[in-house]
Chains A and B, each alone.
Chain A
Amino acid sequence: MEILSGLLQGFQVALTANNLVMCVVGVVLGTIIGVLPGLGPPATIAMLLPLTFKLDPTGAMIMLAGIYYGAKYGGSTTSILLNVPGESSSVVTCIDGYQMALKGRAGPALGMAAIASFIAGTFGVVALMLVAPPLARLSLAFSAPEYFALMVFGLTMVVLLAGDSLTKAFLAMLVGLWIASMGTDLFTATSRFTFDRTELLGGIDFIIVAIGVFAVGEVLGNMEPAKPAEMLPVPKGLKNLMPTWEDMKKCRFAFLNGSVVGFLIGILPGAGSTIASFISYGIEKGVSKHPEEFGKGAIEGVAAPEGSNNAETGGALVPLLTLGIPGSGTTAILLAALVLWGFKPGPLFIQDNPQMFWGLVASMYIGNVLLLILNLPLVAVFAQILRMPGYAMYPLILGVSIVGVYTASSSLFQLGLLAVFGLLGYAMRKLDYPTAPLVLGLVLGDPMEKALRQSLMMSQGDPSILLRPIPSVLLALAALLLVVPLFKRINAIRIQVIERES
């Protein structure tokens, strides 16, 4: 009953003219950046975040979330037509989607990707709506030691699955923690790592690092010439995009598999939509009566991964909104957005901000319907974006990055920092350092230090406070996860997963 009334309230919020427009803008932008290889949701959300400061936060959150899940719809278009994933989460779709396109079935592959995304995306929103409120109530029992342990566990998961070198992933996370501790220490008013610059007394704005590492770093990386791939044609007319009844029957299990696996993987920090899509593809192939068809254009091989990477969005929002713990680079930026707008994601978030939470949930139902409409009849229009040359796009990204940072800070010093972090992002890509742990370390560094210091204050310096039941289980799990790669066989599986992702 409580959920139904919440949802009703959510639709009242989401259906206002302003929020509807924001939803449309978000999903259209999301589809566009999903289609474009090389520009992902973290870069786009980071660039646009400062421009949302003057907007109503609910509408802004609806738009940013629209970009997040809209990109996953768009990513499949590039995978199917170009054999290049528009998003990392669409990489599995290349396997069977492109084969279908080569066989002249690009239409049904695109149609199935949109339909599976819609079904699983909607499942993810339903599950988010059902799981988040009770989990938030449960987490009300958490205090500083539990939060510290939870953040350690989350960071460990991200580090474990971020790159094939655990050491590099860890180092990236530690650099994130260092940047997070720059500025004035709120407990003792000590200036830390400010290099005698007054501009650094308030610390380094998360936005600058995120835009620098993701957007500017991405542009610099893309400056290296790449051989252009040839795009297959998009079939004209809605009729040619619709899968047959036989195709739909074949994909019954794939819809369920993608929905459930995607949502559950989404809840885990660090795992993300790419891993979700690989697992659901593996399951689909494993249970199929004709596994030999996979890799040669099996339509279930499109439905399962596309479904799971969309259901993952709902799962990923559960720990973000109820615990304030992001599990990926994109959700870390969404967390930063909520904090910048003055919200405190955590156990009381839903209770204190029902308009925001239920408005977001309802907008996701609407957004999924809009995306189904956009990605069926309008897929040919979005595919034309792939013809846009890089030299026209990169100045645009750099321009929006400058405007974004300047809007947030009105300072040329911060623009200088943007250039520095852009170079850092490029260097990290060249040297194979994963960027997600850096961003998560940066977002969680401050609350993690606060939680640790509060815990030790509560116990007057006695670290055994971290041995309370919940923290001890979480810390033991984190330690276990770090020990796991020492076992060669398990490490080989971990690296296999990461290699597939990259």
Chain B
Amino acid sequence: MKFFARSGDLWSGLALAALGAYIVSRAWTWVYMGEDGPGAGFFPMWYGGAMVVLSLVLVAGAVLKSPPREKPPSVRWDDVRRALTCWVAFVACIALMPLAGFVISFALLTWFIVAVMARQPQRVALPLAIGGALGFYALFELALDLSLPKGMFF
């Protein structure tokens, strides 16, 4: 595999070029300059175009860069996996809210982070999860009178 194929600049540049092209294509369908002055497509056309140009500059920079003499530090995929696992847990917590409500979903998220990700014993994880969730409920719902997401039961 070519060295640049592993470059984050290459892939992020391509993604941004695609986004820029999408912005320009959408802006094309709106009025660019009307009788009263610039239309809805005027500003997006300019920044979308700039995005395409700059992202291609980024891609070109990644491709044309000479290969490093020493092997560059590789991406620590374990670290990325940990972060993404946490993100998936966060998304699952949000997805669970219409069913279980904030208190239960948040308690489960806290338990997951403490017990599964940080590998702490249950005697640490459970009180943190339950105490944290009830603390949020007491502070925001009861004391500050702010509404938390409600589920079917709670």
Instruction: Give me the interface of A with B, judged by CB distance under 8 Å.
Output: 51, 54, 165, 167-168, 170-171, 174-175, 177-178, 181, 185, 187-188, 190, 192-193, 216, 219-221, 223-225, 389-392, 394-396, 398-399, 402-403, 406-407, 410, 412, 415-416, 418-419, 422-423, 426-427, 430-433, 449, 452-453, 456-457, 460-461
- Interface: B23 (CB within 8 A): yes
Answer whether A398 and B118 are a contact pair too, CB < 8 Å, given A174-B54, A178-B23, A453-B42.
no
Q: Are B147 and A407 in contact (CB under 8 A)?
A: yes
Q: Are A167 and B57 in contact (CB under 8 A)?
A: yes
- Interface: B138 (CB within 8 A): no
Which listed residue (B16, B55, B106) contacts A395, Cβ 8 A?
B106
Residues of A within 8 A of B97 (CB): 412, 415
- Interface: B5 (CB within 8 A): no
Which listed residue (B54, B102, B113) contacts A394, Cβ 8 A?
B113
Q: Are B90 and A422 in contact (CB under 8 A)?
A: yes
Instruction: Give me the interface of B with A, judged by CB distance under 8 Å.
Output: 8-9, 12, 16, 19-20, 23, 26, 30-31, 33-34, 36-40, 42-44, 47-48, 50-51, 54-55, 57-58, 61, 76, 79-80, 82-87, 90-91, 93-94, 97-98, 102, 106, 109-110, 113-114, 117-118, 120, 128-129, 132, 136, 140, 144-149
In the docked arrangement, what's the CA distance between A216 and B91, Å? 11
Within the complex, the shortest CB–CB distance from A428 to chain B, in Å, comes to: 9
Main secondary structure of the interface of B (DSSP, over half): helix
Residues of A within 8 A of B79 (CB): 223-225
Q: Are A399 and B106 in contact (CB under 8 A)?
A: yes
A–B complex contacts, Cβ < 8 Å, 29 sampled: A51-B146, A54-B144, A167-B61, A170-B50, A174-B54, A178-B44, A188-B30, A188-B39, A190-B40, A192-B44, A220-B83, A223-B79, A223-B83, A223-B117, A395-B106, A395-B114, A395-B128, A402-B94, A407-B146, A407-B147, A412-B98, A415-B94, A416-B91, A418-B94, A426-B83, A449-B43, A452-B38, A457-B37, A457-B38
Q: Are A188 and B40 in contact (CB under 8 A)?
A: yes
Which listed residue (B37, B54, B76) contacts A456, Cβ 8 A?
B37
